[in-house]
Amino acid sequence: MNPLYLASGSPRRRELLTQIGVPFTVVSAPVDETPLPGEGAEAYVERLARAKAEAGLAAAPVERTAVLGADTAVVLDGRILGKPENREHALAMLADLAGREHQVLTAVALTDGQRCESLCIASSVRFRPIDEAEAQRYWASGEPADKAGGYAIQGLGAVFVTGLQGSYSAVVGLPLSETAELLARFGIACWQVPALLPEVTNKR
């Protein structure tokens, strides 16, 4: 079984891979995340996921390996909402998302140098109304600063969410069911770390 590298600096993705018992090593794979002219959101996230995986493969210290790349985008009315540039930008994004439904697209790509496979998972998230004072307090928490769309569903931002259709883990940053299937096609199994497996007892 080839060792797995994760081409991502996201602590959320590291936690999610660890959650399903997949051992990995993080490799740095910076790529230009500027959207191409006329590029749709789905094509954008899938292109970046593949670019990160391929850049990670080039940077990996061993030859026979597999590299996982991923990218997530929050999309409102076809517009990609990136990470907030500053306080005003973050508050503006929260105002746009408040009381509405938006899409979260997460693409995952895996390459071993011989082939590269990718997929994109779309989920819908609905926010309740958010008043300006609440948005300011959320910004002051520090959480929105490095998050796509300016919020974290797995953190303090969960209080805004009134509905979710799709994959919760994909909204966090990595669709676990689909990622597990992708890893299996490359001969990489989940539940490899015994310490992470739940204890089975006969108690009822």
Q: Give me the active site residues, please.
A: 71
Q: Residues near 182 by Cβ (< 8 Å), separated by ≥ 6?
A: 108, 110, 117, 119
Measure the CA–CA gap between 7 and 61, rounded to whole angstroms: 13
DSSP structure string for 136-179: HHHHHTTGGGGSGGG--TTTGGGGGEEEEES-HHHHHT--HHHH
Pair of tokens at residue 32: 């230009």
36 and 46 in contact (C-beta within 8 Å)? no
